[in-house]
Every structure is written in structure tokens, then in C-alpha cells.
Amino acid sequence: MPPESDAPDDTAPFRPADLLLLLPFVWQLGLAPWANGVTWRPLGLPFGMAWQMVGILFATLVIGLRYRLDKDQDEKGGKA
């Protein structure tokens, strides 16, 4: 039997909402080949540049949503 540790367990269990954090990676890596082939120039910018700027906003929204879901879960007493 391994010795018991006095250190607190700071690792939280995996939650389904954690999968939301994969969306920004899919945005940047999975859709990049498609985005590179677009010739449309929104606001006179190359599409790739506009794609990156929108990706930053998208990632910020996803992280904010994930934070809100975690906060709501903790307030309901579901803190792990």
C-alpha cells in the first residue's frame, strides 16, 4: 500500500465542458487549409489576417464560456 500524501489534490476531474477548449485549436489548425485558399479580402485585409483576428475573438469567447460554466458548476456545489 503506498503511503498517503498530506498534499492536497489540486487536480480537478475532467468535465465535458473541457472539450470546448479544443474548439480554438480546431479553428486554427483544422480549418487553416480552407482559410488559406480564400481570396476574399474583408476590409481590404488578406483573409488569413482577418481569420486570425476573428480566431482571437472566438478563442476569447470560448474561454469565457468555459469559465462561466465552471463558475456556475462551483456555485451549485459541484466543486470537485
Residue 64 inside a domain? The answer is yes
Buried/exposed 40-58: b ≥16 CB within 10 Å, e otherwise: eeeeeeeeeebbeeebeee
Residue 3 inside a domain? The answer is no
Residue 32 inside a domain? The answer is yes
Amino acid at 29: L
Reading the chain (80 residues) residue by residue, the pLDDT tens digits are 566 666 556 677 888 888 999 999 999 898 988 998 999 999 999 999 999 999 999 999 999 999 998 888 777 775 55
Query: Domain of 30?
Result: 16-75
Supply the pLDDT for residue 72: 80
Supply the pLDDT for residue 42: 93
Supply the pLDDT for residue 40: 93
Residue 9 inside a domain? The answer is no
pTM of the model: 0.72
Residue 20 inside a domain? The answer is yes
Give the residue from 62, 61, 65, 66 showing the smallest Cα distance to 15: 66
Supply the pLDDT for residue 58: 96
What is the distance between the alpha carbons of residues 23 and 28, in angstroms, rounded to a whole number? 9
Number of compact structural domains in the chain = 1
21: left (phi over 0), alpha (psi -120 to 50) or beta: alpha
